[in-house]
């Protein structure tokens, strides 16, 4: 099973709202990622968790707050977002048994900030 | 840091024709190289990967790619394109344990009937 699941599929939120995106994988992967993708652009790395610890933070604004409760779950907490934060948010995981370095992506959450 | 260049923003091919998508990378050591495909509004699907060994790698959906160290390239090929191959294609390069993977700008493939 190479599935990464993300919920919700779509999210519309106002600039004063607080919401969370959820990502889950059951492949035994030890690294999980958040990417942001604007229309017609490549994914941009936001955060990397390795063994449940934050290992990379690509200077993302503090209105985005990641959380890794356990090795299978990754959350992205959103607060006071701006309209320019509207994008597709992708979760990925990698690093299973052996030397599996490829990243597997979820279907994404389409976020619209109004 | 590693980087990837995909020189072609948009390519149009006829159904049944052959396809080659170009990818050039920059990295000081042996890179981890990937091709992903993305249909509109969807996540990314891994087509194939290169870590080491045979420089010609086979992937899913009939795609293959060839790693050429002398040209810093990892071009994607398919001998006969199907209408369902229309999508965005991303080349990516990873470093170290691949926790830091960088994508090229992408190439949009249109398939003419």
Task: Quote the pLDDT of residue B18.
Answer: 98
| Chain A interface residues (partner B, CB cutoff 8 A) | 4, 6, 31, 33, 40-43, 45, 48, 50, 55-56, 88, 90, 92, 94-95, 99, 101-108, 110
Residue-wise pLDDT for B23-74, tens only, equals 999 987 878 999 999 998 889 999 999 988 899 999 999 999 999 999 999 9
- Check CB contact under 8 Å for A42 and B103: yes
Q: Can you give the pLDDT at residue B101?
A: 85
* Beta-carbon separation of A88 and B99 below 8 A: no
Instruction: Give residue-wise pLDDT tens across range A3-47.
Output: 999 999 999 999 989 999 999 998 888 899 999 999 999 999 999
Give the mean pLDDT of B93-101: 74
Q: Residue B94: which pLDDT band, with cuts at 50, 70 and 90? A: confident
A95-100: average pLDDT? 61
Interface test with A, best of B31, B99, B108, B110 (most A CBs within 10 A): B99
Total Cβ atoms within 10 A of residue A69: 9
Token couple for B57: 């790698």
Say which residue, B11 or A52, is predicted with more confidence: B11
pLDDT for the residue numbered B51 = 87
**Confidence band for B98, pLDDT divided at 50, 70 and 90:** low
CA distance B59 to B79: 13
Count Cβ atoms within 10 A of the Cβ of residue B14 and give its class: 0-12 exposed, 13-18 middle, 19 or more buried: exposed
Structure confidence at residue B1 (pLDDT): 79
DSSP string, B38-67: E-TTS-EEEEEEE-SS-SEEE-GGG-EEEE
SS3 of residue B71 by DSSP: helix
Check pLDDT > 70 for residue A97.
Answer: no
- pLDDT class for A96, splitting at 50, 70, 90? low
Residue of chain B whose Cα is closest to the Cα of A51:
B99
């Amino acid at each position: 099973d190479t599935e990464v699941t993300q919920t919700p599929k779509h999210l519309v939120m106002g600039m004063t709202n607080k919401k969370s995106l959820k990502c889950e994988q059951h492949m035994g992967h030890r690294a999980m990622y958040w990417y942001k993708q604007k229309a017609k652009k490549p994914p941009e790395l936001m955060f990397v968790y390795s063994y449940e610890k934050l290992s990379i933070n690509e200077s993302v604004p503090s209105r985005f707050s990641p959380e890794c409760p356990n090795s299978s779950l990754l959350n992205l907490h959103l607060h006071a977002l701006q309209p320019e934060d509207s994008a597709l948010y992708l979760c990925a995981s990698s690093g299973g048994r052996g030397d599996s370095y490829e990243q597997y992506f979820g279907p994404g959450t389409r976020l619209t900030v109004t | 840091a590693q980087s990837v260049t995909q020189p072609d923003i948009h390519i149009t091919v006829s159904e049944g024709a052959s396809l080659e998508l170009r990818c050039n990378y920059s990295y000081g050591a042996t890179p981890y190289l990937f091709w992903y495909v993305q249909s509109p509004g969807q996540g990314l699907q891994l087509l194939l990967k290169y870590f080491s060994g045979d420089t010609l790698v086979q992937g899913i959906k009939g795609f293959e790619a060839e790693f050429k160290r002398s040209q810093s390239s990892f071009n994607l090929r398919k001998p006969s394109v199907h209408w369902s191959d229309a999508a965005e294609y991303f080349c990516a390069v990873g470093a170290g344990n691949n926790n830091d993977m960088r994508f090229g700008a992408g190439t949009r493939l249109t398939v003419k009937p």
